Amino acid sequence: MAMTLTLIFTLGNELYGLEIDAVQEIIENPVVHHVPRAEGVVGGAINFHGQILATVDLPALLGFSGAPRDPRQVVLTAKFKSLALSVSGIQRIVELDLSALRPPPASAQKSAIRGVTTLDQTTINLLDCNEVINQLEHFYAQ
Amino acid sequence: MDMSQYRGLFFSETREHINNLNKLVVTLEQEPGHRETINALFREAHSIKGMAATMGFDHTARLSHRLEDMLDGFRASGEVSAPVFDYLLDGIDLLEGLLDDLQGNQPERSIDAFLRKQPQPPTQKVDDPAEENLADNALAVANAGAPGAVSITIETGDDKSAESPVRGAAAEEPDLFQVLVDLLEDTPASAARCLLILRELAGSGELITSKPDMASLRQGEPCERLQAWLRTSLTKQHIEEALRKISGVANVRFIDDRRQRERSSSDEAGRTVRVRTDLLDQFVNLTGELITRRYMLHSAARHQDWNELTQSLTETGRLIDDLHHHVLQSRLMPLENITGRLPRIVRDLSRKADKKVTLRLIGVDVGIDRVVLEELTDPLVHLVRNAVDHGIDKEGVVTVTARRERDLVLIEVADDGRGMDPELLRRKAVEQGLLTARQAEGLSEHDALMLVCQPGLSTAEEVTETSGRGVGMDVVKAAVVNLGGTLAITSAPNQGTRFQMHLPFSIAIIKLLMVSCGGHHIAIPITRVQRMLDLPSGEIEGSAVQRVFRLDGEIVSLWSLNRALGLPEEPAGEITWVVLTELMGRRIGLQVDRFLGHREAFVKKIGFPLNLLTGLSGATVEGDGRVVFIIDPQPLLEERQLLDQDWTPGGPDALS
Amino acid sequence: MALRVMIVDDALFMRNMLKEIFVRAGYNVVAEAENGEAAPALYLEKRPDLVTMDIVMPKKSGVEALQEIMASDPDACVVMVSALGQDSLVLEAIEAGAKDFIVKPFKEANVIDIVRRVTGRS
């Protein structure tokens, strides 16, 4: 059984997973700069080693209202446009078997879930980074 | 005559010739009978010989003379047999070694061994057995001299440096070089370790001296880096291998080696630009002055001499401005680089359309930043193509003009053709639902002409045929705007059309106007700012929906930049701060909370999805680490215009 | 033919450890001595290809034993084994003709690398 190192985080009350391979860095308490016209789903910008990156408010983008925000941010790899993700809470890194994902529940319309698995009887939604990018594109294409 | 002033030129040119020699030999190897290549090789060697003899570099001159003779022989015979290539390449390597020596202010290494191995230049035909004999000799020589050497590929600098410096036929000539050995951190008994290393070196040649020397090592002086000068006929590779086997050795380097590696990596970078030497001299002078200034600043600070400090700071600022100016200058390339292909394009197009079109290029030697130039290539071709296709009827002239206009460069594409009809464009825009009838009426002539840059209109065949330019004009405009420039069109029926692009010379570092809006710093490119105004708030007229003010007898609309950026608005005090900009040829005032001043800044690109946000063109980082976004008012205003159906660019006077 | 090694060390622990390393590398440990006094005679008797010599030993130090061996056989291949902080003794040994030195605590691979280098065998 091939195990994949996976970062577990929360959006609202739901548990999400993100393969470590998609993560470039987890940064503590970055200074978030104001972005004019960013409107909600982009919470600001950070200066990440000289690159100006958008910090994406993932709970807001995916419709989790009123959720708290972890002071840390997850910077994705360049493959996922080096987005910095703000999430409700960053929990830990675990090994997951991602070879047998179940499809996400059909109800989740706006969700960005690549599949579902379980860890200690809890459901973990695997974040679909490409879908996050799609939704951002869609959001700003108007 | 003092030849030393020509040394630099000699080295750079000879290295170029050596590069060419290498390339040509490899080319020739693919096609050994190619007479032109042989001739070219001969000329390269001949050039080196001439220069080296003039400089009085005896070995270099003799060696290149020998190569020249040899190549002359091949010119006569018409072909080079395979085994000679190795020998030639060895000779070229040896030439390079000689240059290294000369540049390192060392005596030229011996070339006798190489010359001995090539007793007679070939003069016979290829089928002559003597020639084959010679070739065999050369092969044997090359193989004996350098086991495993001489597989030259021009690109792979690493291979070359691994084999240098004493490969090829010259391998058994003792050669002096400097070895640097770094020990691992905390190597125990480092002095003893260094003694062992020196012993190893002494066993592979003549150890001339070292730092630290044997005596101090014997005293137990700890040492983490050993420097040694060695004369040896072994290859560097060989010595490095032996040294690396010694426990505690972290790194082995050869001074020559490093220089070669640097040279080849800069070759790989590829994108070179020729910089005028007087410009380089300016760099040196300015840097020198800056260094002097630094000492003056130090001294002034030490003595707390405020006058001197202020004066020195001013002077330093001036020097930095100068340096910046000259650095930007060094990036400029003449527009000719991209206009060069235009004559061919115009010729092909006019032949195809059976027109008689003359292309005139004026002022194309103007320098433009290479980045701008690259981005400009397609738009310029578009404009010229459109001029031939749609502007000129049967016969006419297309003129491309370039000239500097203060901080900008103007590039103009004009034709003397049938011109465009603003009225027709207005009508088409309304027919296609791009504008309401009232909006179309309100458009100035210039704005109406700019409608050709609307993507929707561009595909309309009829417009294109009878009055328009449509094809790709939206692309042209986007490219110009992206570069921080503006596009303007002037035209009238039967009086030709003129497209004017105003572009910044350089886009890497730009001048910004910093303003404050809703508590945030915002940067606006100075190329977008016509004027900065501080208007008495009482002079602002109009309704809450549309405010205006009078300027030079004209009525100008006033917009809130805060509102456009989604920022809270501060109540205006007695003074209203306004940035005067323009949209489609019309002046517009942008109200801001405060002016913070001008700044020169390096523009950073912004990542996804920030790059999708309308009006954000980049970011810059301020001294305190604050990230400030650079906004381009133009797209913001255009967006506003589209959203705000009641708004027309003419302002309230157009409504009445 | 397998490399013939002689180990000189007063600590049985070190002798056994080196012996294990050498045996695993396929070398033949032909002699062992537990002090510097016995070493030179044993060397002449066995004529090993390599000697590992502890520096600090009772009766006669490793450096003295080394000097005697070198006097009797200038081509002798002796590698000193020292502890940290014995730099001056190591220097003395190198001056006296030791081919290299190993510093305790050592790693197996390191020992073998040094042996290979000084004996020129792989």
Looking only at the bridges linking them, the beta strands covering A42-48 and A51-57 are antiparallel
pLDDT computed for residue C59 by the predictor: 80
What's the per-residue H, E or C state across B224-275?
Answer: CEEEEEEEECCCHHHHHHHHHCCCCEEEEEEHHHHHHHHHHHHHHHCCCCCC
Cα(A14)–Cα(B656) distance, integer angstroms: 59
> What is the rounded average pLDDT of the residues C73-99?
89
What residue type is B70 in one-letter code?
Answer: M
What pLDDT is attached to residue A124? Answer: 92
Q: Do chains C and B touch (3 or more CB pairs under 8 A)?
A: yes
Question: What percent of chain A lies above the pLDDT cut of 70?
Answer: 96
Of all residues in chain C, the percent with pLDDT exceeding 90 is 57
Residue matched to tokens 């056994």: C16
Residue of A31, A33, A135 to mutate, interface with B, max B Cβ within 10 Å: A33
Instruction: Please indicate whether chains C and A are in contact, defined as at least 3 beta carbon pairs under 8 Å.
Output: no
Distances (CA, A) of B517 to B531, B565, B579: 18, 9, 12
C59 to chain B, any CB pair closer than 8 A? The answer is no
B267 vs C115: which has the higher pLDDT? C115
The residue of chain B nearest to residue C83, with distances taken between CA atoms, is B188
Chain B hits for C103, CB-CB cut-off 8 Å, are 188-189
Inter-chain CB proximity B192 and C101 less than 8 Å: yes
CB contacts of B565 in chain A (<8 Å) are 36-37
d(CA B68, CA B49): 8
Averaged pLDDT in 10-residue chunks for chain B of 656 residues: 70 80 76 83 85 86 89 79 79 90 86 73 40 36 32 27 33 66 86 90 83 83 85 83 88 60 34 68 85 86 88 87 82 81 77 86 86 82 88 91 85 91 85 81 83 65 40 76 80 88 76 91 92 90 83 89 88 88 85 88 83 88 83 84 51 39
Q: Which of B539, B534, B510, B528 is CA-nearest to residue B619?
A: B510
Write down the H helix ranges in B270-305: 277-302
Q: Distance (Å, rounded) from C-alpha B492 to C-alpha B499?
A: 12
Report the pLDDT value the prediction gives residue B136, as an integer from 0 to 100.
Answer: 38
What is the structure's pLDDT at B267? Answer: 32
CA angle B97, B102, B106 (to 5 degrees): 100
> Which domains are seen in chain C, by residue range?
8-119 (3.40.50.2300)
Strands B554-560, B616-621: pairing is unpaired
CA distance B612 to chain A (A): 6
What number is the average pLDDT over the span A36-60? 88
Q: Which CATH architecture has domain B174-269?
A: 2-Layer Sandwich (3.30)
Point out the residue among C90, C95, C113 whose CB comes nearest to the CB of B189. Answer: C90
CA–CA distance, B384 with B378 (Å, rounded to integer): 10
Give the Å distances, CA to CA, from B192 to A68, C53, C100, C112: 63, 16, 9, 19
The set of residues, in sequence order, having a beta carbon less than 8 Å from that of B425 and lying 6+ positions away, is B448, B449, B451, B452, B457, B463, B467, B468
Question: Is C87 within 8 Å of chain B by CB?
Answer: yes
List residues bridging with B531 in a β-sheet: B580
- CB–CB of B218 and C88 under 8 A? no
Tokens 């220089």 appear where?
Answer: B259
Q: Which residues of B touch A47 (CB under 8 A)?
A: 621, 625, 627
Cα distances (angstroms) measured from residue B584 to each of B487, B489, C20, C23: 9, 10, 87, 88
Q: What are the angstrom distances between the C-alpha of B347 and each of B342, B370, B385, C90?
A: 8, 27, 11, 84
What CATH number does domain B509-655 carry, 1.10.40.50, 3.40.50.620, 2.40.50.100, 2.40.50.180? Answer: 2.40.50.180
Alpha helices in C2-119 (DSSP H): 12-24, 39-46, 62-72, 87-95, 108-119
Q: What is the length of chain A?
A: 142
**Chain B residues touching C110 at Cβ < 8 A:** 247
B-chain CB neighbours of C93 within 8 Å are 192
| Residue B205 CA neighbour count, 13 Å, CB half | 24
Task: Please tell me which residue, C29 or B375, carries the higher pLDDT value.
Answer: C29
Residue C104: strand pairing partners: C83
For B:389-418, CB contacts with C below 8 A are none
Angle between helices B58-77 and B84-103 (to 10 degrees): 160
When CB atoms are compared, the residue of B189, B195, B246 closest to C103 is: B189
Is B80 in a helix, a strand, or coil? coil
Count CA atoms within 13 Å of residue A22 on its CB side: 19
Rounded to 5 degrees, what angle do the CA atoms B519, B524, B530 make? Answer: 120
Q: Say which residues have a Cβ less than 8 Å from residue B309's Cβ, sequence separation at least 6.
A: B297, B300, B301
The answer to whether B610 contacts A39, with C-beta atoms less than 8 Å apart, is no
Inter-residue contact C63 to C44 (CB < 8 Å): no
Query: C116 contacts in B (CB within 8 Å)?
Result: 245
Q: DSSP class of residue A77?
A: P
Among A31, A34, A52, select the one facing B607 at the smallest CB separation: A52
Give the residue-averaged pLDDT of A6-10: 94
Task: List residues of chain B with CB under 8 Å from any CB of chain A.
Answer: 517, 520, 522, 565-567, 604-610, 612-616, 619, 621, 625-627, 629, 631
Residue whose pair of structure tokens reads 């700071």 in the numeric block: B313
Q: Which one of C88, C94, C111, C112 would you mutate to disrupt binding with B, by most B Cβ within 10 Å of its Cβ? A: C94
Would you call B196 an interface residue with chain C, using a CB distance cutoff of 8 Å?
yes
In whole angstroms, what is the distance from residue B67 CA to residue B87 CA? 10
The pLDDT of residue A110 is 62
Looking at chain A, the whole-number percentage of residues with pLDDT higher than 90 is 44
Q: Which residue has the tokens 């091939």?
A: A2
C-alpha torsion sign, points B51, B54, B59, B63: positive
Residue B604: beta bridge partners? B619
Give yes or no for C101 touching B (CB within 8 A). yes
Cβ contact, residue pair B520, A34, below 8 Å? yes
Question: Domain extents for chain B?
Answer: 4-168, 174-269, 277-332, 336-504, 509-655
Most confident of A46-55, A78-87, B342-351, B622-631: A78-87
pLDDT at B173 (0 to 100): 47
Please tell me the predicted confidence (pLDDT) of residue B174.
59
Domain that holds residue A97: 3-140
Contacts of A135 (CB under 8 A, 6+ apart): A61, A62, A110, A112
3-state SS of B331-396 is: HEEECHHHHCCHHHHHHHHHHHHCCEEEEEEECCCCEEEHHHHHHHHHHHHHHHHHHHHHHCCCEE
Check: CB of residue A131 under 8 Å from CB of residue A81: no
pLDDT at B150: 26
CB contact under 8 A, C100 and B220: no
Are the CB atoms for B222 and B254 separated by under 8 Å? no
* 8 Å CB contact between B400 and B388: no
Chain B hits for A34, CB-CB cut-off 8 Å, are: 520
Query: Are B608 and A133 in contact (CB < 8 Å)?
Result: yes
Task: Please check whether residue C10 is in contact with residue C54, taking contact to mean a CB–CB distance below 8 angstroms.
Answer: yes
- Written out in words, the top-level CATH class of the domain with range B4-168 is mainly alpha
Which domain CATH number covers A80?
Answer: 2.40.50.180
Query: What's the topology of domain B336-504?
Result: Heat Shock Protein 90 (3.30.565)
- Strand-pair partners of B251: B182
Whether the Cβ atoms of residue B503 and residue B414 lie closer than 8 Å to each other = no
> B245 and chain C: CB distance < 8 Å anywhere?
yes
Domain count, chain A: 1
Residue C42: how many other CB atoms lie within 10 Å? 19
State both tokens at B429: 């825009």
- The answer to whether C80 and C53 are in contact (CB under 8 A) is yes
CB B645 within 8 A of CB B544: no
Structural tokens at position B351:
């032949």
The residues that bridge with B599 in the sheet, in sequence order, are B512
Instruction: Render the burial of B243-256: b for 16+ CB within 10 Å, e for the rest.
Output: beebbbbeebbbeb
Minimal CA separation from A118 to chain B, in Å: 32
Give the integer Cα–Cα distance in Å for B453 and B124.
Answer: 70
Which residue of A32, A35, A133 is the best one to mutate when testing the B interface, meaning the one whose CB has the most B CBs within 10 A? A35
Predicted confidence at residue B126, as pLDDT, reads: 37
> In chain A, which residue's Cα lies nearest the Cα of B631?
A36
A64, amino acid identity: F
Residues recorded for chain C: 122
- Name the minimum distance, in Å, from the CA of A111 to any CA of chain B: 19
Give the Cα separation of C46 and C5 in Å (integer).
Answer: 9
User: What's the confidence (pLDDT) of residue B272?
Assistant: 53
- Please name the residue that has the structure tokens 């695997």: A126
pLDDT of residue B651: 44
Cα B483 from Cα B371, distance rounded (Å): 9
Q: Which residues contact C45 (CB under 8 A, 6 or more apart)?
A: C31
pLDDT band at A17 (very low <50, low <70, confident <90, very high): very high
| Contact (CB, 8 A) for B196 and B249 | no
Partner B contacted by C66 (CB < 8 A): no
Q: How far apart are CA B1 and CA B144, in angstroms?
A: 43
